[in-house]
Structure formats: structure tokens, C-alpha cells
């Protein structure tokens, strides 16, 4: 069975709950100092089965961001989550997320 067949598409409120769990784990296990939810979940366009949960984080050293992202993808493999560590973002994207995102 492919991993995509195992992904759970959840209602918007559950997506917010999952995002809070992700934020807690990023902060406590990996030292993230800022975790933001952005995209369709906060813009009101989230559609289970078509949307993902967009998470931006910073405060993790750039040399560890890839490892942290991989561990988080594994830990939350049941959900469609797009992780964006600060070091992987262009300045213009980061600025947009910081302006429009919601701290979780």
C-alpha cells in the first residue's frame, strides 16, 4: 500500500487541532521558537481531500531543519502536512507568512 493511501483528510477544526499538536512537538522536541499556521486552514478555503495543513517554523538551526522536517513528516504521516522551515523559504515567502500566518 502506498503512503498516500494512508493519509487522513480531516475536517477544518481537526486540522487546526493537528496543527496545534505539530506546534507543541516542534517547540518541545526541537526548540522551534515560532510556529505559524498559514494557507487554506486559516483563509477559510480548506477542503478535506484537496487541501493540506501548512506549517511554517523557525528557531531550529538551519543545518537541522531538514532532519526535523523529516522526523515531523514521519511522526504525522497520517496527515497531509506541508512543513516549511524558515531556512527553506525565500524572504518574500517568509514575509508573507509572517504577515498572514497565525501563531499556534
Tens digit of pLDDT at every position of the chain (104 positions): 344 556 666 888 899 999 999 999 999 999 999 999 999 999 888 888 888 999 999 999 999 999 999 999 999 998 999 999 999 999 999 999 999 999 99
Q: Which letter does DSSP use for residue 76 in this model?
A: T
Q: By 3-state DSSP, what share of the chain in percent is helix, strand and coil, each rounded to 5?
A: 50, 20, 30
Q: What is the pLDDT of residue 83?
A: 97
Tell me how far CA of residue 92 lies from CA of 83, 86, 96, in angstroms.
17, 11, 6
| Cα 45 to Cα 97: distance, rounded to the nearest angstrom | 16
* Lookup result for grid cell 528557531: 59
pTM, two decimals, is 0.88
Tell me how far CA of residue 39 lies from CA of 2, 52, 71, 91, in angstroms.
26, 9, 22, 17
Q: How far apart are the first and last CA of the chain?
A: 33
Q: For residue 16, how many C-alpha atoms fall within 13 Å in the half-sphere facing its CB?
A: 11
Amino acid at each position: 500500500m502506498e503512503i498516500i493511501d494512508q493519509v487522513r483528510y480531516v475536517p477544518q477544526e481537526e486540522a487546526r487541532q493537528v496543527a496545534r499538536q505539530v506546534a507543541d512537538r516542534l517547540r518541545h522536541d526541537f526548540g522551534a521558537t515560532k510556529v505559524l499556521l498559514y494557507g487554506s486552514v486559516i483563509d477559510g478555503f480548506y477542503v478535506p481531500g484537496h487541501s493540506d495543513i501548512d506549517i511554517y517554523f523557525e528557531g531550529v538551526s538551519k543545518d537541522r531543519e531538514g532532519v526535523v522536517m523529516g522526523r515531523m513528516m514521519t511522526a504525522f504521516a497520517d496527515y497531509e502536512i506541508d512543513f516549511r522551515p524558515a531556512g527553506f523559504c525565500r524572504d518574500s515567502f517568509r514575509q508573507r507568512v509572517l504577515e498572514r500566518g497565525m501563531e499556534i
